[in-house]
Amino acid sequence: MNLSPESRVKKRSSNACQRCRRHKIKCSGSQPCDTCRKRKLNCVIDDRAQKVLVARGYIEDLQRKVTLLEQSQELPSLQTFSDDFDRPNSRDTTGLSEGTEWDQAGENDPEISNPLSTGPSTFISTAFGRTCRFRISITLAESDPLAVYLGTSSNWSFARKVLSMIHEHLYDSPLPTDRRHFDETAYELGWDGLRTSMSTEVPMVPTVDFSMYLLNAVKFHVGQLFHIFDEPSFMEGLYAYHENPDYQTSADPLWYILYLLLLAFGKAFTVQRGPNTRPAGCEFFVKALQLLPDLTHLNQYPMISTEILCCVALYLQSLDFRSSAYGFIGQAVRLSLASGMHTNMPIDYLGGEALQRRRRIWWTVYILDRQMTSLMGLPQSIEDNQIYHELPLFPESPHKVTALSIEIKMCQIIADVNRTVYGVDGRLNRKFLSSTKTALGNTANLDTRLQESHRLGLDESSPNGVSRLSAHLHLIYHQCIVLATRPLLFCFLKMRLQSFDPNAKPLTSSAIVCKLLQVCVESAKQMLNILVILQKQTLLDSFLPFDLESTFVSALVLLLAPFVDPYLLDDSLPWLQKAYDVLDEMIYRGNQIAAFRRSDLEQLHDLLRESSGQCDRREEMISHMSLLYSEESQFGDAADLTTADIMAVAESIDSVDVDWMAHAVTENCIW
């Protein structure tokens, strides 16, 4: 029977445009296609994604050519190409079966990549620009159109990408600019950064006894983690200043700048105030910046100059001036490198005290640079194989040597994750999961040392309180785990949003990948548990950025987990309330950035609830996932997440899971 053209079943176009593929809708195949033409959108057809049928002989000829090239030219980059074709395949080999077709389109496709790091770099626009609070007289809209780069491993950028993706899924439009909070918008410093507009007014410094009180606060909050001033030489200058302020200020201007910076920190730690556009002690910080000389002068005094630059960078990071902080810590890195602080410095030439001070300075610079670079999502600037790894001595606090060693190791793990999981090589195929496996293994190996030297007792009935230093190390430990596994959560979130088939299998259909996600969730829970205990013992830090980052990181994971798969977390509301309580404490103490982060979480929560109504398969997913987990595979409460659990998950990753993961990424267009 002949069918009329109208009654014939139309086949799906073999050359669908990228937008139609992404939204899984029928494409006319024309250029532009009918859908893009109606919506007046740019229509892009990528022929590389089109699958083709070739004979086995053609593939074998390619293999032989590759072998000849390798033998004659010794091109190591072609080895992976040959190995992938030689890999045994139990699927149908009589032709180019679906499995072989996947092998070509999946593992060998250079586009199968970490969606947080591949493709064109990600920018977001502020539409009409933003007012940079550091330069209150000029808006960037008046000078340059502002495009903000979203770094791959940045927590802030991760939240921006998630919020934007879900909003575009729901409304087919970008996230409104007024619902975004940008760098350097939380506080007013009261200075435009220009030397020509410097104020001649000098802030009144506290008395010597009040100064000592503020310095002790700085030593407790910062001194346990970093070296930002040399106490013996600084105290000598303090007494000299209060005897003759004019002489000391002119005789040693760098000491005076450092004094102002320490006063700014001390006021921020001790003077709690409600919502305010300027933190307590900000006037000291601004005056220190105004007096800060050029690098040509700082280079003559590398030790105190590097201490000053570290103070400026840490203070700016605490105010969410992330880009400016990154610039100042970069100057500190180069100044310390140029001074040879990363080398095996000779004690005979420098003397014992100067040698120890330089080592303390160097490792502070190293740690701050690693952490700020990761928070910006940028490439690391220091190569570990070019560093002399001798640690400083702390005769008065031997446990600080162990703590410093552990934190350095965790910073190295963070750098490895940034380079392999989030970098150019962070692909969602064998190399990607191998990088995740390595990162988890290295992190878990630290747990024994961490528990032996800085065990964290979270039992509220214990008569002993929680050590602030131990809590800091454990929070970084769990952030390493989340950083390594979070890209998988992002992948499954995108798959979840793109899946419109209510009868489709659950997204997390690989037991090992499920366990990786569960490790991510359990670490997020543990971070919140630690923060809640710190809050109850009034040890929560509301000025330095570290507790805020931990709160935000963990809350993001725990918000996304039940949406991706309810079996990972039945209900995020109790955990979200814990995060809100911690953030509210910080807001009450005057942290404006915490208010921004809370707003981001509330926006995400609302968008996820609205999106759940469009693609909810809760009961079917729970039923399926119950078959994947056995009783012994459960981790239980967050506190039960052990080194053995993490190592077992990491070591269980094999090629089958890698293939499943890459196939899922290919089918759902996660690139």
User: Residue 435: its pLDDT value, please?
Assistant: 81
Amino acid at 54: V
Over the stretch 204-259, which tens digit does the pLDDT of each residue have?
999 999 999 999 999 999 999 999 999 999 999 999 999 999 999 999 999 999 99
pLDDT category of residue 625 using cuts at 50, 70 and 90: very low
- For the ranges 23-27, 242-246, 326-330, the lowest mean pLDDT is seen at 23-27
Q: Which two tokens stand for residue 14?
A: 């073999």
| Cβ atoms within 10 Å of 202's Cβ, excluding its own | 12
**Best-predicted range by mean pLDDT among 142-151, 377-386, 577-586?**
577-586
Mean pLDDT value of segment 434-442: 86
pLDDT category of residue 433 using cuts at 50, 70 and 90: confident
| pTM for this predicted structure | 0.76
- For the ranges 271-285, 389-403, 444-458, the lowest mean pLDDT is seen at 271-285
The secondary structure of residue 139, as a DSSP letter, is: B
pLDDT category of residue 137 using cuts at 50, 70 and 90: very low
- Own/partner contacts of 15-23, CB < 8 Å, gap of 24 or more, are 15/45, 15/47, 15/50, 16/45, 17/43, 17/44, 17/45, 18/44, 18/45, 18/46, 19/43, 19/44, 21/49, 21/669, 22/498, 22/669, 23/498
pLDDT category of residue 150 using cuts at 50, 70 and 90: low
Rounded Cα distance, 664 and 10, in Å: 27
Residue 148's beta-bridge partner residues?
124
Contacts of 636 (CB under 8 A, 6+ apart): none
3-state SS of 380-397 is: CCCCHHHCCCCCCCCCCC
**Best-predicted range by mean pLDDT among 174-188, 531-545, 652-666?**
531-545
User: Residue 572: its pLDDT value, please?
Assistant: 86
User: Residue 410: its pLDDT value, please?
Assistant: 95
- For the ranges 77-81, 153-157, 265-269, 435-439, the lowest mean pLDDT is seen at 77-81
466 three-state secondary structure: coil
The residue among 253 and 627 whose pLDDT is bigger is 253
Mean pLDDT value of segment 611-623: 52
User: Residue 36: its pLDDT value, please?
Assistant: 80
Over the stretch 59-77, which tens digit does the pLDDT of each residue have?
777 776 666 655 544 333 3
User: Residue 475: its pLDDT value, please?
Assistant: 96
Mean pLDDT value of segment 326-331: 96
Over the stretch 527-571, which tens digit does the pLDDT of each residue have?
999 999 999 999 999 999 999 999 999 999 999 999 888 888 878
**CA 564 to chain CA mean position, Å:** 20
User: Residue 658: its pLDDT value, please?
Assistant: 60
Indicate the average pLDDT of the chain. Answer: 78
305 has pLDDT over 90: yes
614 has pLDDT over 90: no
pLDDT category of residue 668 using cuts at 50, 70 and 90: low
pLDDT category of residue 343 using cuts at 50, 70 and 90: very high
pLDDT category of residue 12 using cuts at 50, 70 and 90: very low
138 has pLDDT over 50: no
Q: What percent of the chain has a predicted confidence (pLDDT) above 70?
A: 70
559 three-state secondary structure: helix
Residue 379: asked if its preceding bond is cis (omega within 30°), the reply is no
Rounded Cα distance, 20 and 575, in Å: 37
Question: Residue 555 belongs to what H/E stretch?
Answer: helix 546-564
The residue among 421 and 1 whose pLDDT is bigger is 421
What b/e string do you get for 10-26 counting C-beta neighbours within 10 Å, with b at 16 or more? eeeeeebbbbbeeeeee
User: Residue 92: its pLDDT value, please?
Assistant: 38
Which is nearest to 260 in space by CA: 299, 291, 297?
291
pLDDT category of residue 78 using cuts at 50, 70 and 90: very low
For helices 56-73 and 79-86, the axis angle rounded to 10 degrees is 140
80 has pLDDT over 70: no
**Best-predicted range by mean pLDDT among 181-195, 283-297, 565-579?**
283-297
Question: Residue 123 belongs to what H/E stretch?
Answer: strand 122-125
User: Residue 136: its pLDDT value, please?
Assistant: 33
For helices 430-453 and 468-498, the axis angle rounded to 10 degrees is 160
Q: Write the CA distances from 121 to 118, 129, 389, 424, 463, integer angstroms.
A: 7, 20, 34, 11, 51
Amino acid at 194: L
The residue among 230 and 101 whose pLDDT is bigger is 230
User: Residue 299: its pLDDT value, please?
Assistant: 94
The residue among 199 and 306 whose pLDDT is bigger is 306
Mean pLDDT value of segment 427-440: 70
User: Residue 438: its pLDDT value, please?
Assistant: 86
Phi, psi dihedrals of residue 87, rounded to the nearest 5°: -65, 130
Q: Which residue is associated with the tokens 């400016």?
A: 324
pLDDT category of residue 20 using cuts at 50, 70 and 90: confident
122 three-state secondary structure: strand
CB 488 within 8 A of CB 657: no
- For the ranges 107-116, 222-231, 532-541, 649-658, the lowest mean pLDDT is seen at 107-116
Q: Give the N- to C-terminal CA distance of the chain in Å, as an integer.
A: 44
User: Residue 511: its pLDDT value, please?
Assistant: 77
Contacts of 524 (CB under 8 A, 6+ apart): 478, 482, 553, 554, 555, 557, 558, 561, 575
Domains of the chain (ranges, CATH numbers):
18-49 (4.10.240), 56-105 (no CATH), 195-386 (no CATH), 399-667 (no CATH)
Residue 543, CB-side half-sphere exposure with 13 Å CA sphere: 23
Amino acid at 413: I
**Best-predicted range by mean pLDDT among 153-162, 228-237, 381-390, 603-612?**
228-237
Considering Cα of 395, then 397, then 402, then 403, what sign does the dihedral take? Answer: negative
Q: Write the CA distances from 583 to 262, 282, 392, 425, 427, integer angstroms.
A: 25, 22, 36, 36, 35
Largest CA distance in the chain: 108
Phi, psi dihedrals of residue 139, rounded to the nearest 5°: -100, 145
Rounded Cα distance, 253 and 93, in Å: 77
pLDDT category of residue 379 using cuts at 50, 70 and 90: confident
